[in-house]
Structure 1
Amino acid sequence: MTSSSARTSPVDADVLGSEQAAFRDAMAAVASPVAVVTAVDGERAHGTTVSAFVSLSLAPPMVLVSLAERSRLLAAVRRTGRFGLNVLGAHQADLAAVFARTGAERFEGVDWFRSGGLPRLPGSAAWVACEVADIVIAGDHVVVLAHAVVSEADGTRPLTYHQRSFGTHTPLSS
């Protein structure tokens, strides 16, 4: 068994790099919904764009989101035990880009309001207010399992991410 902190040889690093590139390309072939996960720590709002989230359970209603292990957002979620899931509408690609930036004040110049104490982005296709049930370490991310305590949808087409581009779902003609 090898330790995850063990150093790899240059050959191993090259192989690992090519495996990561191949995995990244394979995942780009999958259309994913785009959301901004938000939380408040004190008076400061935190948020980040994610495409790794899914509906987990109907009874009870639960979602799963993946967050970077070292993110400030995750630290806020761990402290408060709550977060908002703003499922972006097709017209909100600009917001996805804003919240995907690193090291910037992401809420600066962005319209938002508090809904149940959580940052909510107006115009999103769906909103889910969540309470953390469990956090599981998974590679360089953590998987947050959460109960959906409030869920709303407005019928707006969702923003998706596919082949490294934003788009939306178009139903097939029947």
Structure 2
Amino acid sequence: MTLRRDRTSITPMGSRRIEPTEFRNVLGHLPTGVVVLAGTTTRGPVGMAANSITSVSLDPPLIAVCAARTSSTWPLIQREQRFCVSVLASHHEQVSRKFARSGTDRFAGVRWHHRATGPALDDAIAWLDCELVAEHDAGDHTIAVARVVDLASAQDGRALVFFRGQYGRFVPADLDQPRRENA
């Protein structure tokens, strides 16, 4: 079998219509981290939950985040061209749900502090200060590429993860198994 390099001329062989629900369910088998993207506007802080985030480049340090085109929050963050990513800790399930809901004050009752690029959740496990460098249309989402201009992390804590439609926490494999002495 020969790999075709000309991506513009590829036609799906034997393709079928993949329903969005099926696509979400199958990709739900890939655990993802959960973050809050937050920026500061003239009206105050704005933020949204996301789990479509990934490292893109080490040099320069770049990340990509994907925001639904239907998001009313992403355009507010995008307009400022800067945002802070707070990597949520395992106890942040309710915070994630709150930042995923529309029509509510997402910051009410949530402890946060200012960083150079926007609000950061106080007890997150990591923070990335980002400046938007590019956006790309991608179906029903926008892929935003951002340069990381500063970052920090907590010394301890477990990450909140999303897997098969449920929240959980990451436990390293060596902590999941009983320790054997002198193994």
TM-score normalised by L of structure 2: 0.81
* Cα-to-partner distance string for 1:73-105 (whole Å, 9 max, x where unaligned): 222222211011000011111111110112212
The change in CA–CA distance for 1:39 and 1:72 in structure 2 (over 3 A counts) is farther
Matched residue of 2:108: which SS? coil
Aligned-residue identity in percent? 28
The aligned counterpart of 2:157 is 156
Write the distance in 2 (CA, Å) between the matches of 1:73 and 1:119: 14
Write the distance in 1 (CA, Å) between the matches of 2:128 and 2:117: 13
Give structure 1 stretches of 5+ with no counterpart.
1-14
Judging by fraction of residues, say which structure has more helix: 1
The aligned counterpart of 1:28 is 28
**Amino acid aligned to 1:97:** R
The aligned counterpart of 1:115 is 115
Report how far residue 72 of structure 1 moved.
3.2
TM-score normalised by L of structure 1: 0.85
**Amino acid aligned to 2:160:** L
* Cα-to-partner distance string for 1:21-42 (whole Å, 9 max, x where unaligned): 2111101111000000111111
Matched residue of 1:22: which SS? helix
Report how far residue 117 of structure 1 moved.
4.7
The aligned counterpart of 1:103 is 103
**Amino acid aligned to 1:62:** L
* Residue pair 1:53, 1:66 contacting (<8 A) in 2 also: yes
Matched residue of 1:97: which SS? helix
